[in-house]
Chain A
Amino acid sequence: MVELILFWVFALLAVGGAFGVVVHPNPAKSALLLVLTFFALAGEYVLLMAHFIAIVHVAVYAGAIMVLFLFVIMLLNVPEETRTSRLWGIMRYAGFSLAIILFAEIGYFGFKGFQTAYVQETDLGTVERIGQALFSKYVLPFEIASILLLVAMLGALYLSKRKLEIVGDGKAAPAGKKAEEVLVEE
């Protein structure tokens, strides 16, 4: 019973927050509403016995990813939006009919799911069980994750470096010279 009440509280917070993200004219405030949505979803994960996912959701999504979002908003200096009607002609009808189909689908499958879904008391989602699986059966994907992070690091570096010089006629780096050497540092 308590679970059910908590589920509805978190569900309303998540959907309300997500709705706020979309409709709020101020981008910085919509980013903060997204934090609320993430926290509510973390609560739902706990109710689904996915404890590790819940913690990761708060630490990585509500923490790190949101910092990134806020930085992008500040980076682009997005002004507060003013509402203008940009729906016209056939687009309006196409959009409405697609939205109706989408909501009908979500409603149908959601209703079907609600009838059968229940969560057993399980320890599958605890940090301990995740760790046991990650460091025995899934050790290769775990190590590959580090390479993925490495690639992301280099990508961030190359995308954001200010002094990027194109060598030669700008078609390709000359032979024997790796692309990274094209990068000129101060």
Chain B
Amino acid sequence: MLSQYLPVLIVLAFALVVAGAILFLSHVVSPRIKDAVKQQVYESGINPQMDARLRYPIRFYVVAMMFVLFDIEVIFMYPWAVVYNQFLSQGAFIFWEMVVFLGILFAGYLYLWKRGAFQWE
């Protein structure tokens, strides 16, 4: 069973090697000139005026929150899709289960939409 994860492990190893090699090479090869101009933040030739770390508006947080919720919704569909054919031979119950699940969430989605949760106010 675990041997099926070998490709995943190989991909992870490759990712680490490639990312590490790129970081290492750019560290070794790149020239480092330290003067006032080179150390400045590059912003398309415009001189920076203030700190780059601004406080983000809370509306970004709403988007992230909605993403988390719908992400969890989709996670539930994953085991559902795997066993769907198996259960379908015993009737359409499996189909209606997911319809109810999605229906409740879709009602919430419509409500959010109506309330303007996706509006960029």
Contact = CB atoms under 8 A, between A and B. Distances in A.
Contact of B64 (A2, A68, A136, A139): A68
Which secondary structure dominates chain B's binding surface? helix
Chain A interface residue bracket vs B: 35 or more
Chain B interface residue bracket vs A: 35 or more
A81 interface: no
B82 interface: yes
Interface in B56-100: 56, 58-62, 64-69, 71-73, 75-76, 78-80, 82-83, 86-87, 94, 97, 100
A135 B62 contact: no
B32 interface: no
B56 A71 contact: yes
Interface in A55-75: 55-56, 59-60, 63-65, 67-68, 71-72, 74-75
Interface string A101-142: 000000000000000000001010001101110111001001
Contacts of A55: 78
A183 B68 CA distance: 24
Interface stretch (A82-90, A92-100, A147-155, A171-179): A147-155
B27 interface: no
Which secondary structure dominates chain A's binding surface? helix
Contact of B86 (A3, A46, A132, A134): A132
A49 interface: yes
Contact of A142 (B61, B76, B87, B109): B76
Given A150-B105, A153-B108, A183-B115, A128 B64 contact: no
B2 A67 contact: no
A186 interface: yes
A145 interface: yes
Contact of A71 (B64, B71, B86, B111): B64
A152 B105 CA distance: 11
B54 interface: yes
A151 to B, nearest CB: 9
Given A74-B55, A149-B105, 14 more contacts: A64-B68, A74-B53, A127-B79, A128-B79, A131-B82, A134-B76, A134-B80, A143-B97, A143-B100, A150-B105, A153-B66, A156-B62, A156-B69, A160-B59
Interface of B: 1-2, 5, 53-56, 58-62, 64-69, 71-73, 75-76, 78-80, 82-83, 86-87, 94, 97, 100-102, 104-105, 107-109, 111-112, 115-117, 119, 121
